[in-house]
Each structure stands twice: as C-alpha cells, then as structure tokens.
C-alpha cells in the first residue's frame, strides 16, 4: 500500500485510542507510572553484516538469546496489555528462524497491539523473503499494521563498504524488490528503506535518495547516534561522530527533506527536529514515549526503560512488571529525564508521542510551514529550548 494510505490507517487506529491517550498523557502518567505502550525487542545480536557505525554484530551469541519457550512466560502477564507499538530489531531479526512464530506470540499476548515494525538488512533474501511474507500475511489476517524497512546505506559498493558485506547491495535489492511487490497487495503493510548517513557514505546520500525515487520507495534517513543498550557503539563516537562538515551537510540535507515532505508526515517532523538539534547545540525539543511508557528488551532478557537507560534487571530472573515499577528503577528513569533526554537523538517511536501532544504538534506544524516556505530562515524559527515530555 502507499505510505500515505498506511498513515491514514495508522491515524484511524490511533484515533480510537485518543481519549485514553489524553487521560494517560495529562493525568495518569503525572499521578503514577503507567504501563508501557511502546516496546522494542532486540531479538538477537547475531547479524549478517559488520557495519561501520554499529557494533551489535560483535555481540552476537545465539546461546544467550531467549528462546520462545523462555519468552512466552515473560509475555504471559496483563502487564503487557497496554502495548500498542512493537518494534523488533537487533542484530539481524531474520537470523532467527522462529521470527514468524515470535510475531505470532507477541500478537497473542498483546491485546492492544496496533503496529509491528521490523528493521532488517535484507542481506539474506532466500531466508528473509518467505519469513517476512508470512509475517505480513499473519498481520493482515489479524488486522495489525506492519512496517518493514530494509537498511540501505549507499548504492552499490558504498553499501557493501559500510556494511562490510560482499555483494550486499544486490542481495538487499532482492529483498527490497520482493517486499515492495508484497506491499502492493497488502493494505496493512508499509514498506521502505532506511539509511544511516555519516562521513563514510555522506557523498552517497543524494544517490540513495535519487535511487529510492526511481523505484518509488519510501526512505527514512536516520540521524547518527551512539548508544550501548541498542547499538553497542559508544566507543565509536570519537572516531566516526559528526564534525562541522557533516553537521552542515546534514542540517541542509534534513531541511531539504522538510521542503519536499508533507508537513503532516512523521519524517518531516523528525527531520525538522534533527536540523534544529544540529543548529541549537543538540538540545532536544522532540517528545519521546520512552520517558514514561516504554521498554526495551534485549536478547538475553535484560530490560531497559530505553536505549539510554541502565539495565533494570533481567526478565528471566524477575517479572518485567516488578522491574518496571521498582522504586529504585523509577528513580533512575527520573534521572534520565533530567540528564540524558535533553540531548538525546533517539527517534524511537517519536511520532507516537508527537501525535498525542496536540498543542506542541500544532506549534510544530506552524513552524514547519514557515521553514518549508523559507528554509534559509530556519535559525529564526528555532523554538526556545525547554524540555518536552
């Protein structure tokens, strides 16, 4: 299905939860901690690439991945009953041959599940295509939206160099082609590619965009970031982090994308905020659902509130609920809000929060229209830096 039709489906699903969302955002979460509505599950660190900007592949260890037999009792609790958005990532999710059963298990235990997201390298098409097709068809049958993105960090050799994979571009292209064709016949399925741009592939950013356009593919550009709980890559910050030339390029690149995108798209929202952050010394003004209603579960069962939180404990030792609501852990979450959120670059499920905050979102729309009309005046539109929830 087209991305805009998918967005309408998503908005329609989200709209049914608006009164609950408003009560949660403005009342419940202020009075007492609410259950998670967004969940990221890194189902393995095993990977079929060795990327330059992510070290997850160094942590691959199949033996320490929770099996489905271990996961099922963890999920078998009303605690998970509020989760609406699930993102399955890794490592490479399709290296787990039980990935379709895993999605089926989540659907069974998450009664409010609206949308599943999966990121994949697409580098092993013979395995990934049938697996992902089964997942899309299962979600269609259950009325769950599914979004899949194949990562593509360059055209041809550039992709292979970033990912250290021979013939990687051609392999990923096969998966992309199959998924794009599947999306045409499944209205619940939105498909696109995702690119992470940094010094190594910056000269190829426009090529990726042009290539995606010729194929009519939706593309999302990730902002480079460093997090151990999600990418094991803090140690890379010094060697590959942005300097002035990358910052100048990326700010313009993001503003160019705002110009082209509909201001109503989630991408325009993120790109404008990233351009803001580069311009304002990395002060975050985007909301984040992980501040008060998110969880990140890692392959061995380690639980975190978000990609920048400490480990709360392990779900094989203690229930997720007890770890989530533990006073000491909640205190840690408060400290993250004060210390880490103000400069955090995480995009994870930002749009989920954005749509639930009507006044800041209306302000964003107004500003996005003026930046669209006059991008050279972006700096004049920068909002005052005040933390948003």
Contact residues: ligand SF4, CB under 6 A: 47, 49, 51, 54, 56-57, 90-92, 121, 288, 290-291, 306-308, 336, 340-341, 344, 346, 348
Judged by CB under 6 A, the stretch of 48-56, 312-320, 333-341, 374-382 that binds ligand SAM is 48-56
Pick one of 24, 85, 107, 222: the residue that binds ligand SAM (CB under 6 A): 222
Kindly state whether residue 125 participates in binding ligand SAM, applying the rule CB under 6 A: no
What length is written for the chain?
389
Judged by CB under 6 A, the stretch of 53-61, 211-219, 287-295, 379-387 that binds ligand SAM is 53-61
Nearest to 335 by CA among 388, 295, 291: 291
Nearer to ligand SAM, 71 or 118 (CB): 118
Q: Of ligand SF4, ligand SAM, none, which one sits near residue 84, judging by CB under 5 to 8 A according to partner kind?
A: none
In angstroms, how far is the first alpha carbon of the chain from the final one? 33
Pick one of 109, 225, 284, 304: the residue that binds ligand SAM (CB under 6 A): 225
Pick one of 24, 107, 120, 173: the residue that binds ligand SAM (CB under 6 A): 120
Nearer to ligand SF4, 147 or 308 (CB): 308
Q: Within the chain, what is the greatest distance between any pair of CA atoms? A: 56
Q: Name residue, tokens 């500003």.
A: 367
Q: Of ligand SAM, ligand SF4, none, which one sits near residue 120, judging by CB under 5 to 8 A according to partner kind?
A: ligand SAM
CB count in 10 Å sphere of residue 282: 15
Nearest to 231 by CA among 286, 296, 145: 296
Residues 285, 277: Cα–Cα separation, whole Å: 8
CA distances from 268 to 261, 367, 389 (A): 6, 11, 20
Q: Of ligand SAM, ligand SF4, none, which one sits near residue 222, judging by CB under 5 to 8 A according to partner kind?
A: ligand SAM
Q: What is the SS3 assignment for 123?
A: coil
Nearer to ligand SF4, 145 or 341 (CB): 341
What tokens were used for 27? Answer: 């009342």
């Amino acid at each position: 299905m087209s991305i805009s039709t998918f967005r309408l489906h998503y908005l329609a699903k989200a709209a049914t939860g608006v009164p609950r969302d408003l009560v949660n955002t403005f009342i419940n979460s202020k009075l007492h901690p609410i259950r998670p509505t967004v969940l990221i599950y890194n189902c393995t660190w095993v990977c079929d690439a060795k990327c330059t900007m992510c070290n997850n592949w160094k942590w691959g260890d199949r033996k320490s991945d929770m099996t489905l037999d271990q996961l099922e009792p963890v999920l078998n609790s009303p605690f998970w009953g509020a989760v609406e958005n699930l993102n399955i990532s890794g490592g490479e999710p399709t290296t787990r041959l039980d990935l379709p059963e895993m999605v089926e298990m989540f659907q069974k235990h998450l009664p409010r599940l609206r949308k599943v997201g999966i990121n994949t390298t697409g580098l092993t098409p013979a395995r990934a295509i049938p697996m992902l097709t089964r997942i899309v068809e299962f979600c269609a049958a259950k009325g769950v939206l599914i979004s899949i993105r194949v990562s593509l960090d360059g055209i041809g050799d550039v992709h292979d160099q970033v990912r250290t994979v021979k013939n990687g571009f051609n392999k990923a292209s096969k998966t992309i082609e199959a998924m794009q064709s599947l999306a045409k016949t499944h209205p619940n399925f939105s498909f696109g590619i995702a690119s992470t741009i940094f010094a190594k592939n910056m000269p190829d950013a426009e090529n990726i965009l042009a290539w995606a356009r010729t194929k009519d593919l939706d593309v999302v550009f990730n902002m480079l970031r460093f997090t151990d709980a999600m990418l094991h890559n803090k140690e890379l910050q010094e060697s590959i982090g942005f300097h002035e030339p990358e910052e100048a390029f990326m700010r313009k690149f993001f503003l160019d994308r705002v110009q082209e995108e509909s201001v109503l798209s989630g991408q325009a929202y993120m790109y404008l905020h990233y351009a803001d952050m580069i311009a304002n010394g990395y002060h975050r003004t985007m909301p984040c659902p992980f501040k008060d209603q998110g969880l990140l579960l890692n392959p061995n069962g380690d639980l975190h509130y978000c990609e920048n939180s400490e480990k709360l404990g392990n779900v094989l030792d203690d229930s997720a609920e007890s770890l989530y609501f533990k006073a000491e852990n909640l205190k840690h979450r408060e400290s993250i809000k004060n210390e880490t959120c103000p400069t955090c670059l995480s995009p994870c499920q930002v749009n989920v929060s954005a749509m639930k905050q009507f006044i800041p979102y209306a302000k964003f729309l107004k500003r996005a229209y003026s930046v669209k009309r006059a991008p050279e005046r972006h700096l004049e539109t920068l909002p005052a830096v005040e933390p948003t929830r």
